[in-house]
Structures are given as C-alpha cells and as structure tokens.
Structure 1
Amino acid sequence: MARYQFLIGASSSGSGKTTLTIGLLRAFKNRGLQVQPFKCGPDYIDTKFHELAAGKPSINLDLFLSSQEHVKQLYSTYTSGCDIALTEGVMGLFDGFDKWQGSGAHIAEVLDIPIILVLTPKSMAYSVAPILYGFKNFHKNISIAGVIFNMVNSDSHYRFLQDACNDVGIPALGRLPKNNDLEIPSRHLGLSIDSNLLLDEFAEKAGNFMEQHLPIDEILEMTRKSLTSPVLSKENAVSHRKVLKSAVATDEAFAFYYHENIEYLKKRGTVTFFSPMHDQELPDADFIYLPGGYPELYPDKLSENTSMLESIRRYVEQGGRLLAECGGMMYLSSCIADKTGKEYPMVNIFKQKASMEAMKLTLGYRQFTSNGICVKGHEFHYSSVSGNEESFITQYNAKGIPVDTKLLRYKNAIAGYTHIYWAEMDDLMRLFH
C-alpha cells in the first residue's frame, strides 16, 4: 500500500486541479518515487495526461459506473507496491451525479484518504475563511489535509489567505502565481507522437513549477498513511465459459477507453490491438472494440484506407460481434462531415451522417438494461448524427430520465455515443444475445 495518499479537490471546475495534479505527478516521478494516478469520475482524457506525467496508466474510480467494492478493489490493487497514490477529483469537491454521491468527497470517504483543496481566490482575501470552514465541516467523514491557493501573485495577498487558514484550522500549503506558460495543451490534439511530446513538455514544466513554489516534502508528510496490509475486496468473477479473442482499435484516431475494460478482456482471453488508420484488415478475432477518440481529425486517412473499411463491413455482415463507442460509432456511419461540411465516406454500417458542423456539447451519465443486465456508461461529445431515426433500446440518465441519445444495432454490431464501463460485468458478451 502506498505510503502517501491523497485526493486533489476544488471548489469548482476551472480551479486548476488538472494542472496541479499533472505537476505533482511529474514532480514526484522526477524525485524517483513510484506514483500511481487515479481519476475520480468517467473522464478518459485526463487519465491520458496523468499517464504521460507519471509513467503509469491512470485508473478511473467512479461510483456511478461501478460499486464501492469495485472501487476499493481497484484502489487496493493499484496502490500496492507504489510510494504515492494521487487521485484527481471531479468538478467541485461535492459535485456528484446525485447531490454528493459519486463526488470527489464521496471517493475520499470510501477510500479513507485525505483531501488537498486547490482554490483560486480571485478578488477575495480573508473571505475564503467561511468557504474553507464549509468545506471542512460540511461532511464529518472527510478530512481536509490542507489547501493550495492558485493564481495568487503576491505575498501580501497570500498572508490574508494564511490568516483565514489559521483561523479555520486548515494548513496553507503554498501559493501558485499565474503562469501563462502553464496552459494545458488542447484536449483536441489526438494522440500522435507530436502531441505526446507536447504534453510531456507541459508535464515537465508543471513539475518544475510545483517544485519551485510548493512545499513538496510537507505535502507528503501531511498525507502519509500508516502502512497496513491492504485488504483486497473480492474481485468480480469473469465468465470463462469460452476464451474470447478480442481486437481493440488503437491509434491516433481511437484511443479513449477505460483501462479496466481492457484488463477485463485480457482476463477473458487474448487482446490484439490494431489501427483502422494504418492496418489493411482486421486481425483474427471474435469480438471487435472500436473505442472513442478523434476520428474527425483524420477523416481523410480513415476514408482512404478502403481495405480496412471493407474488412470491418465484411466482419459485421458475417455476424461478428462489435461494440463501437462515440468516435467508433462515427466511424461506422455512412460518412463523417468536418466543420466545413465536407463529407468523407466511412464503413457505412449505420445509414447516418456524423458531423462536426454546428458543434454542441452533450454529456452525462447513461444507463440501460439489455438481456437482463444493467449497463452504465458516460456520454461526452461535440458531434451529432443525422439520418438514422432507429434506436434498439432506450437510454436513461443518472436520475432515470430517458435521453434522446440513440443506441444502434445491426446484426451483432452495437454502437452509440455512450462509453460503456464493463469491467465489473459478469459477461459482456450477453449484450449480443
């Protein structure tokens, strides 16, 4: 079990959680410490940033997508053998899918780990005192280990903030001045070698910045956990009735998947990775997974690879099992239209147009029941689809309200915008029954 464990929380999105997390991960790594990153919630982009900063896959901890037992089991498994376990929260500290359920505070309570707050006290000084008091006392089962103030440029401003911390009884753990060089690179970079180098450069800058301005040793000392033998929750039994040969799309256009989903497939059998952009045909498999990503950034290359398009069409027409999520679903459409409206032919399994015109954000948890199993996932996209009014099943949000998002099926191909979390399922293949 990790010697040091904590969760980075904030008052709201945009407070600097991700930059702070990336910077601390790299600072710890540069000190030669083994650091394991986690992400509270369903985000599959921040986890990529974490992995580049820490050198280890970041693991999602989500209390809507999975049970408390599953979250505890993941945390125990991945903190074994490392020095530091650092979890990035989601939105504001108490923002969950139902009041505070599923929030960063909820995760901290379930895992019994302390919280370090990051606050941006713009146009505010001693008035942070009642804010800090609220965070400290709102829920008795969480512990605020300290607070880091972001975008604080002067020592005089920081002294007011320190006074507030002293009166509330929360340690002040330093200030971070505004730094225009620490702007997280666009999330729409894709995952090319160039973008990875850019993100690595950002992580290095962030790590040096944290070392320069924060008391790293003090942060570690305040988050030290007593070393006890980890108690692993019982791992969900995976059905092994038949060895499953899985093939997972992974390249610049397709890379957004939950780490534990792939681990699940490995437990079921073999996993082969392939590239819809660069490979000529599908590998031998009896289950194909097309995850989300940025196909809209590479529509020309995807469209030009006609042998792969035909290979996937042939696989589906022959009854092969295929799951496509978000970008994967766009790839199975008749075409993808870029921002200008230019259309690029795609696999053409689903007779619809996927478009980046008139982009609009759609996001939220999703759930549905199929063949007697409850399926949960998350939707996050700016694109839209048109021309296909069919949906083989109704999806609901976290509160059980029906949503308009379609879930499509043709033979044994299932597709939709929802990124499904199946790592706790008994048998994913029951979806195709």
Structure 2
Amino acid sequence: MSAPAIVIAAPASGSGKTTLATGLIGALRRAGHQVAPFKVGPDYIDPGYHGLAAGRPGRNLDPVLVGEDRVVPLYRHGAQGCDIAVVEGVMGLFDGRIDEHRTEAVAEGSTAQVASLLGAPVLLVVDARGHSQSLAALLHGFATFDSSVRLGGVILNRVGSERHEQVLRSACDRVRIPVLGVLPRMTELEVPSRHLGLIPAVEHGTAATRAVDAMTTLVAAHVDLSAIVALAGGSVQGPAWDPLAELAAADDRAVPDREQSSGELGGSPSTARTPHGPAPAMLSERSPLPTDPNAQAATTLSGRALPSSTELGVTAGMAQSAHAADRPVEPAPPARTGRTTTITDATAGDRRTRIGGPVIAMAGGAAFTFGYAEHRELLLAAGAQVVVFDPLTDELPEDTAGLVLPGGFPEEHAAQLSANVRLRSAIADGATHGLPIHAECAGLLYLTRSLDGHPMAGVIDADAEFGPRLTLGYRDAVALHDSVLWQAGARVRGHEFHRTRLTKAGTANAAWGWRTTQSVSEGAVVGQVHASYLHTHPAGNPDAIRRFVDAATAFESR
C-alpha cells in the first residue's frame, strides 16, 4: 500500500499554490498525519519549504527529467511510511513542455500529466481577486478539458469579503465543484524573493520557519482538512523506486564497457541511451553525433568557432542560449567511524552498513541548496560514503575521493566562499591530481577563476558574473566528450535555471551540445572534472552515478 495523494494545481502561476501546499502539509502534520511532500517539475526551492512543513525531505516528480515510467515508483519511494501525500503542481494545471511532436493530450511535465499518472484528484487554487460569476465558466473549462484529470474541489484564495465569498461559492455550486477552503487576503504571508524566485528555506533561516508556521495556521483555520483527506481517496498503485535495482540495471547495461575500460575514468561508461526511451533528436540529421572523443577539436569557452562546428552541428563556447521559449530539508549525513559508514534511509528507516567505500564530499549549506534526495540515495546504494560539508566555512572532508558541487546561489555568498582559501586551494589541488568532480550550475561558478570579482577555485579557465537576463528551460543534450559522468554521445535531458554567465573564457572541451533557437555547446570537461550549467536528475541517470562512484574508487586506490 502507498499513501493516497492530493495534487495542488492552479489556473496560472501566482495563484497561491505554494502557500496552500505548504500550509496544507503543515496543517495535516499538526492534525497527526504523516505527510509526504512532492513538487512537480525541476524546482528546488519550493521543496525546501515543503520539507520544513513536513519534517522530511521534499521531493520532485518530473516526467521530463526522469521519464513517465519513473513517476509512480519515485512517488511510492518518497511516500513510504506516510498516510497522505501533497503534490504541489507547476505553473497552470495544463502547462508543460512545449513540444510540437508530442501527440498526447496533456503537456509533458505538466501538473495534469503527473496527476493522471498517479491517478490522484486535483485541488484547484484560484486567485479570487477580480472573479465573480464568471468563475463558473473557468471551473467548467478546467473540469472538462481532459477526461484523464479529475478536478475534485477548489480553494478560493485571496477572497476580499463575506459578500465576495458568497458570490464565488454560488458560481462553484453552479458547476458542482465543491469549495474545500476559503483563504482571505493576507499580505504578511509573503516570503521574500529575488531573481530566481523565493529565497531558499535554508538561506531564509528562522524567517522561513515563521512563514511556514503562518501558512500552516492559515490553512488549518480556513480549509476543510477532513474533506481533503477524504478526497485523496485510495492509494497510488505500482512498484516503489529502488536505487539498488536501478544501479544493478546500470551495471547490466555497462558490463561490456566496464570489462574493457581502464585508466582515468574508473570504468563503467554510460551508454548513448536516454533513460526515457528513444533518444530525442537534438542535432540535425545532417550533423552526425560525436562518438570518438579523440576526434573532437578543443572547444573555446570564449565563444570562438569550433574547428569542427560544421560536422558537430553546434557552435563553440560556454555561451548560453539567449532565451528559453528544488532545498529539500537534508537528513543528517551518514555517521562515520574510520572506514565504516552507517547508512540510514530517512524514508524507510532501513539501516545498513557499508565498509570501505569511497568518500564522496557533497557541498551543502546556504550557497549550495539545489539537490535531489535521490542523488545521495543512489551514491549510498553504489557503495559510497556521502559526507555533506559547507563550503562557506568547512574544509574538504578527510579522505575525499569524489566531490559533488550542486546548484544554488553562490553569487549571493561570493565573498564568503572566496574567503575560505584553504578549501579553494584544496579543491584546485585535487582537480590537478585527478579528483573526480561533478559540478552543476553553482558548482560550475565556484570552479571558475572568479565570481563577480571574487577569487574562486580556478579549476575552470573562465570568470563568472551576474547577467542581465534569466536562462530557463529544459534541454535535450548530448555529451560531447567522455567524462567521469557520461560517455561521449550519451543523450541526457536536463534543465537550465540561472542568471549568471561566463566571461573571459579560455579553451576546454565542452560538456554538452544541444539545439534551442540556435546550436549551443556548454560546460567544460577538464581531466576528471565535469562542470556545466545543466541540472540533471540522478534518478533519471543512474548510469552516471555508477560511473562517478567507480571513478572515485579508482582515485582512492591511486
């Protein structure tokens, strides 16, 4: 059995989904429920607030990054031990990835798609400002647009008066959509935001806790919790995701290559497959995919033309596409005694012991808040010892054999990151000596020479600065060179989400190539370092996790 789910959706962004979802999670918890929090899409920030409310990590359900077939298993895995789950949607209910080749009724990556896959009812949050009787027509449209999505009720948000509430309730009665809550206008619930959305809960500290408490109190007072529990209904059916099984499948796929591999990468290169079925077309059919890393000319980070740009179908440089058309609450890091690690699965309560696995240092703290709970679970399942550290204040953990630098907001903490000279020097020295490093977005910025004028680690021959515009969107990417994560030619789905850019870049092998409105090559592969703006979901790419742990094992043995 698995916990039943309720999906929180809205007609459009800005309707109050995060307030309602976070408050509902907290209110259900106060009422004695064990609540599993989820967020649709690649967002790292909202799950941080969900985690505060639930007392357990917020997780993501993203069909684009992990594939449709993994949505239910990941849900089942994350909901273990809970009696109800709250799934916050993304954008409007039917909004998702725009793909003219997709024929399904619901958009890929949309809240509607996830609700349909889970078989869960939708609770629609409507910003009532400006609405009157016409709300009936809006609700009728959302209830009948797609038969695979069940609209079970509505929450009226930002209602101005008792008279306004009466008019809106009458409109809902007209289309037989039950009203399960009415939230008044309350400006004091606003959570501070900046260029990429809400300030992550880890950075916002006690203010985030106060905001979550206020949301919880609001929802508890104005929403019918018992009706929502009843609406959630039966459990979600299907197998639970198992990181050990995922890695075993990755091992099976990589057996021929592992047996033949030797040297710097530590074996187990991933194959050129997509985790979601047939590989998507990213480069033009006239531009063959790169398969021999030795045949690639060096890519210039500064944006000068690739010598082989005609053949590869990509332009050079770490230039980002001009325009695009979560901070879970972390469980405590594993306890370490010498070379023995006791692993606690925070979801299932399962305890196991690994002996002698390589130490993977994972950056955390206020500057590196973007990560998926499944990343650590896969690393642990692969036999690694995962030690979380804070680059703002800590040194590199003892016996580090692999380094993960996830996403976050290093631009907000550049001075303090720069002041930790011992850590910057240790990481630069490690990179020189072949330490496997996986750096995504914030990690990429930290590895550059400087960020907004502050000295960084200097592993990547580029400078970084806060830019004039946001780069946002899914990417169908191809790995252009062998690395500690992927074999050249591997196809991966990822997501960009940043407002920084690289300048004064030197020459290095690009990590990825893709097409948007133009051909783009991005990121850098330098020795055992893979650095890129592209965020990937480890659950959708278990082959890369196995490959990285193998590289760390090889580094440790040297």
Q: TM-score, normalised by structure 2?
A: 0.71
| 1:352 pairs with 2:462 | yes
CA deviation map 1:216-273 (0-9, x unaligned) = 2222222222x58754467523456885542111122112111111211111122122
What is the aligned partner in structure 2 of residue 418 from structure 1?
Answer: 534
Matching residue of 1:126: 133
Code of the aligned partner of 1:295: P
Is 1:367 aligned to residue 476 of structure 2? yes
Alignment partners' CA distance in 2, 1:426 and 1:54:
27
Match in the other structure for 1:308: 423
Q: 1:430 to 1:402 in 2, by over 3 A?
A: farther
CA distance in 2, matches of 1:228, 1:404: 40
Aligned 8 A contact 1:236 1:424 in 2:
no
Q: Distance in 1 between matches of 2:201 and 2:147?
A: 42
Residue 384 of structure 1 is matched in structure 2 by 501
Q: Is the 8 A contact 1:244 1:268 kept in 2?
A: no
1:212-223 equivalences under 5 Å are 212-223=221-232
Alignment partners' CA distance in 1, 2:461 and 2:3: 54
CA distance in 1, matches of 2:200, 2:526: 29
Kindly indicate whether the alpha-carbon contact (under 8 Å) linking 2:8 and 2:86 is maintained by their aligned counterparts in 1. yes
Aligned with 2:246 (options 236, 242, 245): 236
Q: In the aligned structure 2, how far is the partner of 1:36 from the partner of 1:233?
A: 15
Kindly indicate whether structure 1 or structure 2 has the higher relative contact order, using CA contacts under 8 Å at least 6 residues apart: 2
Deviations 1:367-416 (A, max 9, x none): 3222243222211112222112656144336xx66564621121111111
Aligned to 2:181: 174
- Contact 2:438/2:531 (8 A) holds in 1: yes
The answer for the alignment partner of 2:28 in structure 1 is 28
After TM superposition, give the deviation of residue 350 of structure 1 in Å: 1.4
What code does the residue aligned with 1:102 have?
G
In the aligned structure 1, how far is the partner of 2:386 from the partner of 2:4?
A: 34
Equivalent residue, structure 2, for 1:333: 448
Structure 2 counterpart of 1:396, from 501, 514, 517:
514
SS at match of 1:288: strand
Q: Aligned pair in 2 of structure 1 residues 76, 246: CA closer, same or farther (>3 Å)?
A: same
Aligned runs of 1:136-155 on 2, under 5 Å? 136-155=143-162
117, 125, 138: which one pairs with 2:124? 117
In the alignment, structure 1 residue 91 sits paired with structure 2 residue 91: yes
Per-residue CA deviations over 1:289-341 (Å, capped at 9, x if unaligned) read 1011122222222112111111101111112211111111111111111xxxx
Correspondence for 1:210 among 211, 215, 219 = 219
Deviations 1:19-78 (A, max 9, x none): 111111111111121000011000011111110111111111001001222111111122
CA–CA distance in 1 between the matches of 2:367 and 2:221?
37
- How far apart are the structure 2 equivalents of 1:304 and 1:77? 40
**One-letter amino acid of the structure 2 residue matched with residue 278 of structure 1:** T
Q: 145-154 or 156-165, which moves further after superposition? A: 156-165
Deviation at 1:162, TM superposition (A): 1.8
SS of residue paired to 1:278 = coil
CA displacement, residues 99-145 of structure 1 (integer Å, 9 cap, x when unaligned): 61210000000110000000113222111112111111111111001
Distance 1:229 1:411 in 2: 45
Q: For residue 363 of structure 1, what is the amino acid of its counterpart?
A: L
Contact 2:49 / 2:201 at 8 angstroms: preserved in 1? Answer: no
Counterpart-to-counterpart distance in 2, 1:229 and 1:146: 22
Matched, 1:258 2:372: yes
Q: Distance in 2 between matches of 1:237 and 1:350?
A: 30
Q: Tell me what 2:382 maps to.
A: 268
Residue 159 of structure 2: SS of its match in structure 1? coil
| Total equivalences in the alignment | 423
Structure 2 distance, partners of 1:119, 1:405, is 41
Distance in 1 separating the partners of 2:16 and 2:530:
37
Equivalent-residue separation in structure 2 for 1:250 and 1:222 (angstroms): 38
Aligned to 1:340: none
Structure 1 length-normalised TM: 0.91
Cα distance between partner residues in 1 of 2:477 and 2:17: 32
1:157-184 deviations in Å (ceiling 9; x for gaps)? 2222222222222112232111011102
Q: Distance in 2 between matches of 1:70 and 1:228?
A: 13
Helix, strand or coil at the partner of 2:492: strand
* Native 8 Å contact 1:250 1:274 kept in 2: yes
Equivalent residues in 2 for 1:160-199 (5 A)? 160-186=167-193, 189=199, 195-199=204-208
Q: Distance in 2 between matches of 1:381 and 1:231?
A: 35
Confirm or deny that 1:6 pairs with 2:120. no
Looking at structure 1, the residues matched to 81 and 456 of structure 2 have their Cα atoms a distance apart, in angstroms, of: 45
CA distance in 1, matches of 2:236, 2:201: 39
Identity %: 34
Q: Which amino acid aligns with 1:380?
A: F
Aligned 8 A contact 1:190 1:294 in 2: no
Matching of residue 102 in structure 1 with residue 109 in structure 2: yes
CA distance in 2, matches of 1:267, 1:149: 44
Moved more, 276-285 or 173-182: 276-285
Secondary structure of 1:427 counterpart? helix
Question: Contact 1:24–1:210 at 8 Å: present in 2 too?
Answer: yes
| Secondary structure of the structure 2 residue equivalent to 1:207 | helix
Q: Tell me the alpha carbon deviations over residues 65-99 of structure 1, each in whole angstroms, 9 at most, x when there is no partner.
A: 01222111111122232111100000000011136
Q: Measured at CA, do residues 222 and 188 of structure 1 come closer, stay the same or move farther in structure 2, by a change above 3 Å?
A: closer
Q: Cα–Cα, structure 1 residues 209 and 2, in superposed 2: closer, same or farther, change >3 Å?
A: farther
One-letter amino acid of the structure 2 residue matched with residue 252 of structure 1? A
Does structure 1 conserve the Cα–Cα contact (< 8 Å) formed by 2:393 and 2:420?
yes
Matched, 1:224 2:233: yes
CA gap 1:191/1:80 in 2 versus in 1, 3 angstroms: closer
